[in-house]
Amino acid sequence: MALALERRCANRKFEDMSLLEVKNLQVRVEEREILHALSLTVNLGEVHAIMGPNGSGKSTLSHVIAGKPGYEVTAGEILFKGEDLLAMAPDERSAKGVFLAFQYPVEIPGVATMTFLRTALNAQRKARGESEFSTPDFLKKVRSVAASLNIPQDMLRRGVNTSTRCGLPPTASMRCVRLTAPWW
Ligand SMILES: Nc1ncnc2c1ncn2[C@@H]1O[C@H](COP(=O)(O)OP(=O)(O)OP(=O)(O)O)[C@@H](O)[C@H]1O
Ligand SMILES: [Mg+2]
């Protein structure tokens, strides 16, 4: 899961508070309790790796934070920048920078990466009450981000997450995180 954790976040007032607070979270799936009073604090600028045996609930935690349906939170709370994350719809959470990025994401042939990124970025800007990027501004931005990540320009014209000639794993999620992060 990718979270907006960078220090460059424009909202400096949040620097002194925890970015993400999971407090005594209890989660059930199909009548079985998977998470038992789990607590976790992530501060701005920190990167956390969640480790544990198979079936211990790592994916469950990520899914609940992102808002995937099918999980019942029976106790506890999740705060993002002090706001109740569990009260938000998944798209509201993603607009705030909380969403899942997959190691092996789904390929979407026929949808150009450039189109996908532009739609994602403008949806984020709209959610923040900002105006959409014009085509020239968007092209300038996406090219600069691609260059900073050493992503060849021709990959932006390919289908979303479609395999590359050199066999590298798809990186649309990474581009999306970089491009749609609130500080852009
Ligand atoms: N949709 C579901 N329906 C029923 N049981 C589920 C569901 N999702 C997860 N579980 C159960 O919840 C437990 C935790 O699963 P979860 O996938 O969160 O573990 P994990 O730590 O991510 O495991 P892994 O290391 O294998 O990825 C497992 O026992 C799993 O069978
Ligand atoms: Mg898992």
Does residue 181 register a pLDDT over 60?
A: no
The minimum-distance atom of ligand 1 relative to the CA of 71 is 1
| Kind of pairing between the strands at 18-29 and 72-80 | antiparallel
Pocket of ligand 1 (CB under 6 A): 29-30, 34, 52, 54-60, 70
Which residue owns the Cα nearest ligand 1 atom 28?
55
Average per-residue pLDDT in the chain?
82
Among the residue ranges 3-7, 87-91, 137-141, 147-151, the one predicted with the least confidence is: 3-7
What percentage of residues in the chain have a pLDDT greater than 90? 40
How confident is the model at residue 166, as a pLDDT?
A: 46
**DSSP per-residue string spanning 9-25:** -S-GGGTTSEEEEEEEE
Nearest Cα to 22, choosing from 70, 69, 73, 91?
73
Query: Token pair of 123, please?
Result: 């949806």
Architecture of domain 2-95: 3-Layer(aba) Sandwich (3.40)
Does residue 4 register a pLDDT over 50?
A: no
Query: Token pair of 178, please?
Result: 């970089």
Query: Token pair of 116, please?
Result: 């996908």
Which residue owns the Cα nearest ligand 1 atom 16?
57
Query: For the chain, which residues make up each domain, given as ranges?
Result: 2-95, 108-180
Among the residue ranges 80-89, 149-158, 172-181, the one predicted with the least confidence is: 172-181
One-letter amino acid identity for 73?
V
Give the angle subtended at the CA of 24 by the CAs of 20 and 28, to the nearest 5°.
Answer: 105
90: CA distance to ligand 2 center in Å?
A: 19
Which residue owns the Cα nearest ligand 1 atom 7?
29
What percentage of residues in the chain have a pLDDT greater than 70? 79
One-letter amino acid identity for 125?
R
pTM: 0.76
In whole angstroms, how far apart are CA 62 and each of 85, 101, 139, 163?
Answer: 13, 10, 32, 26
Name residue 116's beta-bridge partners.
none
Q: What is the pLDDT of residues 49-103, one digit of tens each?
A: 999 999 999 999 999 999 999 999 999 999 999 999 999 999 999 888 898 887 7
How confident is the model at residue 1, as a pLDDT?
A: 42
How confident is the model at residue 20, as a pLDDT?
A: 96
